[in-house]
Amino acid sequence: MAGTTVIRNASWIVAWDEDAGRHTYLQDADVAFEGDCILQVGGRFEGEVAREIDGKGRLVSPGLVNIHSHPLSEPMNKGFLDELGSPRLYMSSLYEFMPLFRPDAEGTKACTEVALSELLLSGVTTLTDLSVPYDPWIDLLDRSGIRAVLAPMYRSARWYTKNGHVVEYEWDEKAGREAMDAAMKTIDAANAHPSGRMSGMVSPSQIDTCSADLIRDSFAEAQSRGIKFQIHAAQSVVEFHEITRRHGKTPLEWLDSLGVLKEGAIIGHGIFLNTHSMVHWPEADDFALLRDSGAAVAHCPTVFQRRGIAMQSVGKYIRGGIPVGIGTDTYPHNMLEELRNALYISRLMTGNPFDIRTHHIFDAATVGGAAILGRDDIGKLAKGAKADLFMADINHPAMRPVRDPLRSLIYVAGERAVRDVFVDGRQVVADGKVEAFDLEDATARLEEAQRRAEEQFRQLDFAGRSHLEASPLAYEVGK
């Protein structure tokens, strides 16, 4: 809509205090924006108004910044990976099961529509999408209205197991280099997209599937283009042992030796430092190495807690000055749920409710994630910032009583209270409904894709198991 939109007399606003350099609460005040830009936060907007939204009974929050996500595949894993790990591969499901249960082309589209809908409905306005490029990828991101950082993944090798306890790698460095070249073209297309909401990130897939040259050259390419670099590293015990076996260094030490563990790099997960209780490598100091490097960490707690794995602890990382952002590495793509899990698990790992506070994790999901992406115009409600925001219903039963609206939202209500979302000043969620996609139709197509994947499972599994043998239902189906 042309002209100025004002959210009038909002009950609560998470506003940015420029002088203090932090978020602050305002009550019974206005938020005004025109086009993609915020004009005013706080007080009463007295200018000419094209659209007025009643803010009474609403929390107005900056949109959330998600720095690590896989929309192309994760929604289809619902009901399959909820309680599945590889007992002989340190309980990770990455190597034995995930390569066997993948969506086909139609399923990929349905997965993406479902994931993007979930993200928007949980208040995400900026998304880093780590996907293997596919035909409608850019079109779907554009259609959603979300602000997107495209991180097309590529690698030099694929992993697989022939017995469930040894991970092997099939190397094809020429194919990896060709995929990198194709990824750069996708990044160029994103940066040139007419929406102005898309950009690119260089993303060699995993530390153990990429050659040293591919990792070094990828980081150099990112630096030369002035964009960010992200790689999955320190994400499993299997990977930790593989890298120490190959190089005699921890994953972070090896990245440092390649010259890529520095500012501009994002470590996807960064859980398994040498001090983690599930590994034993005492002659290193990964925490200090990471802290002093300037590299950031993308923290995605939900997918790991399902496998009985946790960072030790994100509170320590944040207090230690390591830049931490939040991502949704699994289903549901529910950012508010990730924030809740990050808070609870960090306290569980330390046995200390003061290990991490709500503001730490909310900062990581807003201005912290924005800073990691190299932006100072998102993740905050301030004059001149992008008009990326969401509104939550503080009268929702799960929000009440409202003593502290962010605590009610994060610890209890979650996405149920999110009603409206704006990106670049354009409304993309209205009264709890995603504007771009028919979510009911997308989930129906996703279910069909899941049935097709189940039919293919036995043919792909080294042990010839059916999907039900690999991941039994909670109860047997009666006859």
Question: Which residue, of 372, 397, 426, is where some domain finishes?
Answer: 372
Distance CA 274, CA 349 (A): 16
Whether residues 347 and 396 share a domain: the answer is no
CA distances from 321 to 61, 228, 251, 369 (A): 25, 19, 20, 14
265 touches 219 (CB < 8 A): yes
Whether residues 368 and 397 share a domain: the answer is no
Distance CA 174, CA 178 (A): 6
Whether residues 20 and 125 share a domain: the answer is no
Whether residues 51 and 127 share a domain: the answer is no
Whether residues 38 and 155 share a domain: the answer is no
Could you tell me the two tokens for 429? 């969620």
The DSSP bridge pattern shows strands 22-34 and 37-41 to be antiparallel
The answer to whether position 120 is within a domain reads yes
DSSP conformation class of 94: T
CATH number at 198 reads: 3.20.20.140
Provide the phi-psi class of 115: left if phi over 0, else alpha when psi is between -120 and 50, else beta: alpha
The answer to whether position 247 is within a domain reads yes
**Burial class of residue 21, CB neighbours in 10 A (0-12, 13-18, 19+):** exposed
Of 35, 34, 21, 27, nearest in space to 9 by CA? 27
Question: Which residue, of 327, 343, 372, is where some domain finishes?
Answer: 372
The answer to whether position 368 is within a domain reads yes
Whether residues 28 and 159 share a domain: the answer is no
The pLDDT of residue 1 is 55
Distance CA 364, CA 418 (A): 19
Whether residues 110 and 58 share a domain: the answer is no
The answer to whether position 445 is within a domain reads no
Of 248, 266, 396, 277, nearest in space to 324 by CA? 266
The answer to whether position 191 is within a domain reads yes
The answer to whether position 115 is within a domain reads yes
DSSP E strand stretches across 209-253: 229-233
The pLDDT of residue 131 is 97
Whether residues 56 and 69 share a domain: the answer is no
Whether residues 222 and 74 share a domain: the answer is yes
Domains of the chain: total: 2
The pLDDT of residue 11 is 98
pTM: 0.97
Whether residues 165 and 185 share a domain: the answer is yes
Could you tell me the two tokens for 39? 């004009």
pLDDT in tens, the chain (479 residues): 579 999 999 999 999 999 999 999 999 999 999 999 999 999 999 999 999 999 999 999 999 999 999 999 999 999 999 999 999 999 999 999 999 999 999 999 999 999 999 999 999 999 999 999 999 999 999 999 999 999 999 999 999 999 999 999 999 999 999 999 999 999 999 999 999 999 999 999 999 999 999 999 999 999 999 999 999 999 999 999 999 999 999 999 999 999 999 999 999 999 999 999 999 999 999 999 999 999 999 999 999 999 999 999 999 999 999 999 999 999 999 999 999 999 999 999 999 999 999 999 999 999 999 999 999 999 999 999 999 999 999 999 999 999 999 999 999 999 999 999 999 999 999 999 999 999 999 999 999 999 999 999 999 999 999 999 999 999 999 98
DSSP conformation class of 450: H
Whether residues 41 and 177 share a domain: the answer is no
The pLDDT of residue 479 is 86
Which residues form the domain of 31? Answer: 4-62+382-434
CATH number at 421 reads: 2.30.40.10
Whether residues 106 and 50 share a domain: the answer is no
